[in-house]
């Protein structure tokens, strides 16, 4: 009985979110449409409470449910990042749902369920628990992507994401099955121990399992050539959902991917590093080149997100402590700057106008200089120019690649960062150099103002004083080695 209570305590942050999500579904029919913001505040409280509960686990190393879930410094660090992203998404949703006249309270319940799945992913130390967490997150996003039921683009986004998602979930499941057939185990520690004693050199079953897993992961993080769903889904889904999909889903899946490849399959490194090298180079290049010709701001951010996936994969290829720590630093920077960029779309969104075209941002910087300045901060960070968080993330990733003699990959990364300079400043030019439309008003609200100030301040603070974040990153990733 005591061990059961101990296991339940280990997943306390997720239990808080599960109870809150179920409560929202029960409350929703009894709350009038005009007061549905109550559920937004309730969700916000649940997320804050869940995030604070992570403090109980600081300095602890807990294994629960027969080793299927592990709570360590690595898991806690990524869970904290996921909770922060969910809080910002809820703050973005306050005004957005009013504009789009979405009065369905289950929206927030699904956000909490998606967050719950994401928080399980960094803790998954068994292939089965990983798959269950991945599906909980994915199913929530299938529904959220199509949440605007009267919008054909939203319905198209949901269907495309669902069809592609179930196919790649099958690939991951097949990869898990092949690994199980090869080792007779699903626990990462056991798989690692087997590979330590008798590594199956050039085993076709291992290589095939790795190809299936890389393809499945590649879809979830929108890596080339598994990225085709991303631009359409990002454009059609509700903007806060797109932001959450772009940030939370990508980082949670990447956290699980790191635990699998760095901790579970380190002795298969020679079998998988070349696959990821090619994918990283293609992802950076295609993402940034395709973004050059976009006129839709959300599609531009989709291709930018694809490009950043390539940068994040560089740290995994390096597979050193510095490389994995660099991934975490860049992941935090990516969260701040990407969510900040998506807030721009919410600000210019109006009833009957999605506000997702680059032309919709005309004169925004002239009419609202502080908002324009915030966008410049996010753009500089996305490009990787100091003194911003994005610069520190890229500096660490490129430095780790050079230190491990991946010179060409670092060169490709630097060149692609230079390419991104063009399309981000194309947007800045529209904001500051073109005339402001008559009667331009922004959809401001207190939650949006708080989000915008917090994200821009965080982006600058990490760029100017990154040492605490770097220390957290290095101490948290050590458990993988």
pLDDT digits (tens, 9 = 90+) for 370-406: 888 988 999 899 988 888 898 998 999 998 889 888 8
Higher pLDDT, 446 or 458: 458
| Structure tokens, 327 | 């991934």
Report the DSSP beta bridge partners of residue 63: 70
Residue 15's nearest CA partner among 111, 107, 108, 116 is 116
Higher pLDDT, 90 or 189: 90
**What is the pLDDT averaged over residues 151-155?**
84
Lowest mean pLDDT among 76-80, 83-87, 358-362, 413-417: 358-362
Q: Look at residue 292 and tell me whether its pLDDT is greater than 70.
A: yes
Q: How far apart are CA 77 and CA 79, in angstroms?
A: 6
Q: Look at residue 281 and tell me whether its pLDDT is greater than 70.
A: yes
Residue 462: its pLDDT value, please? 92
**What is the pLDDT averaged over residues 105-126?**
90
Contact indicator for 250, 222 with CB cutoff of 8 Å: yes
Residue 48: its pLDDT value, please? 93
Helix (H, G, I), strand (E, B) or coil at 187: strand
Q: What is the pTM of this model?
A: 0.92
Neighbours of 145 (CB within 10 A): 27
Question: What confidence tier does 182 reach under pLDDT thresholds 50, 70, 90?
Answer: confident
Helix (H, G, I), strand (E, B) or coil at 124: strand
- What's the distance, Cα to Cα, between the start and end of the chain in Å? 33
Q: Look at residue 1 and tell me whether its pLDDT is greater than 50.
A: no
Highest mean pLDDT: which range of 1-10, 201-210, 263-272, 312-321: 312-321
**Burial 244-279, CB ≥16 within 10 A → b, else e:** bbbbbbbbbbbbbbbbbbbbbbebbeebbbebbbeb
Q: Look at residue 81 and tell me whether its pLDDT is greater than 90.
A: yes
| Structure tokens, 259 | 């635990």
Residue 179's nearest CA partner among 108, 245, 272 is 272
Question: What confidence tier does 346 reach under pLDDT thresholds 50, 70, 90?
Answer: confident
Helix (H, G, I), strand (E, B) or coil at 183: helix
Q: How far apart are CA 56 and CA 12, in angstroms?
A: 10
**What is the pLDDT averaged over residues 231-242?**
88
Determine the angle formed by the axes of helices 297-318 and 250-258, rounding to 10 degrees. 10
* C-alpha radius of gyration, the chain, whole number: 21
Query: What single-letter DSSP state applies at residue 249?
Result: I
> Residue written as tokens 């994969």?
313
Helix (H, G, I), strand (E, B) or coil at 89: helix
The residue range of the domain holding 347 is 2-480
Question: What confidence tier does 111 reach under pLDDT thresholds 50, 70, 90?
Answer: very high
Mean pLDDT of the chain: 86
Residue 199: its pLDDT value, please? 60
Contact indicator for 233, 245 with CB cutoff of 8 Å: yes
Helices marked H in 186-319: 188-197, 204-220, 230-236, 239-244, 250-258, 269-291, 297-318
Kindly state the percentage of the chain with pLDDT values over 90: 23
| Structure tokens, 39 | 């559920």
Q: Look at residue 119 and tell me whether its pLDDT is greater than 90.
A: yes
Q: How far apart are CA 116 and CA 136, in angstroms?
A: 8
Total domains in the chain come to 1
Residue 78: its pLDDT value, please? 92
Q: How far apart are CA 27 and CA 23, in angstroms?
A: 6
Handedness of CA 56, 332, 118, 264 (dihedral sign): negative
Contact indicator for 104, 448 with CB cutoff of 8 Å: no
Contact indicator for 303, 444 with CB cutoff of 8 Å: no
- What does the pLDDT look like over 2-45, one tens digit per residue? 455 667 778 889 999 999 999 988 887 877 776 777 888 899 99
Element (H, E) at 62: strand 62-64
Residue 2: its pLDDT value, please? 43
Contact indicator for 305, 230 with CB cutoff of 8 Å: yes
Contact indicator for 245, 234 with CB cutoff of 8 Å: yes
| Residues 6+ away with beta carbon under 8 Å from 59 | 73
Question: What confidence tier does 272 reach under pLDDT thresholds 50, 70, 90?
Answer: confident
- What does the pLDDT look like over 294-332, one tens digit per residue? 888 889 999 999 999 999 988 888 877 888 888 999 999
Q: How far apart are CA 391 and CA 383, in angstroms?
A: 8
Contact indicator for 147, 155 with CB cutoff of 8 Å: no
Query: What single-letter DSSP state applies at residue 34?
Result: G
Q: How far apart are CA 41 and CA 147, in angstroms?
A: 20
Residue 353: its pLDDT value, please? 65
Report phi then psi at 31, rounded to 5.
Answer: -110, 125
Kindly state the percentage of the chain with pLDDT values over 70: 95
């Amino acid at each position: 009985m005591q061990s059961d209570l101990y296991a339940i305590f280990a997943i306390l942050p997720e239990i808080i979110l599960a109870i809150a999500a179920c409560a929202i579904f029960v409350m929703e029919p009894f709350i009038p449409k005009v007061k549905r913001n109550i559920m937004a505040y309730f969700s916000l409280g649940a997320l804050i409470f869940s995030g604070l509960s992570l403090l109980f686990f600081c300095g602890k190393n807990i294994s629960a449910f027969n080793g299927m879930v592990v709570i360590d410094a690595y898991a806690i660090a990524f869970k904290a990042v996921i909770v922060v992203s969910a809080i910002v998404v809820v703050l973005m949703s306050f005004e957005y749902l009013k504009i789009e006249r979405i009065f369905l309270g289950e929206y927030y319940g699904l956000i909490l369920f998606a967050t719950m799945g994401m928080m399980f992913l960094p803790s998954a130390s068994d292939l089965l628990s990983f798959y269950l967490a991945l599906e909980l997150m994915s199913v929530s996003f299938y529904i959220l992507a199509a949440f605007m039921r009267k919008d054909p683009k939203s319905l198209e986004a949901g269907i495309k994401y669902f069809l592609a998602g179930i196919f790649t979930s099958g690939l991951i499941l097949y990869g898990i099955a092949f690994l199980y057939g090869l080792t007779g185990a699903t626990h990462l520690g056991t798989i690692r121990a087997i590979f330590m004693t008798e590594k199956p050199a050039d085993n076709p079953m291992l290589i095939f399992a790795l190809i299936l897993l890389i393809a499945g992961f590649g879809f979830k993080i929108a890596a080339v050539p598994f990225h085709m769903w991303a631009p359409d889904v990002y454009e059609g889904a509700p903007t806060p959902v797109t932001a959450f999909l772009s940030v939370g889903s990508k980082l949670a899946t990447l956290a699980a991917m790191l635990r699998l490849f760095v901790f579970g399959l380190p002795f298969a490194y020679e079998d998988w590093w070349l696959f990821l090298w090619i994918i990283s180079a293609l992802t950076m290049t295609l993402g940034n080149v395709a973004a050059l010709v976009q006129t839709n701001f959300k599609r531009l951010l989709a291709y930018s997100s694809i490009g950043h996936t390539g940068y994040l994969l560089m740290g995994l290829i390096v597979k050193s402590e510095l490389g994995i720590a660099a991934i975490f630093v860049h992941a935090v920077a990516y969260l701040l700057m990407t969510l900040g960029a998506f807030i721009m779309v919410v600000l210019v969104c109006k009833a009957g106008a999605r506000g997702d075209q680059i032309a919709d941002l005309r004169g925004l910087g002239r009419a609202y200089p502080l908002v324009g300045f915030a966008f410049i901060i996010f753009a500089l960070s996305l490009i990787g120019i100091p003194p911003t968080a994005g610069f520190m993330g890229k500096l660490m990733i490129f430095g780790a690649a050079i230190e491990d003699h991946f010179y060409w990959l670092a060169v490709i990364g630097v060149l692609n960062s230079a390419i991104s300079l063009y399309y981000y400043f194309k947007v800045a030019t529209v904001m500051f150099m073109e005339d402001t439309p008559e009667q331009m008003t922004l959809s401001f609200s207190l939650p949006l103002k708080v989000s915008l100030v917090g994200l821009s301040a965080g982006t600058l603070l990490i760029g100017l004083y990154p040492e605490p974040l770097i220390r957290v990153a290095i101490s948290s990733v050590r458990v993988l080695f």
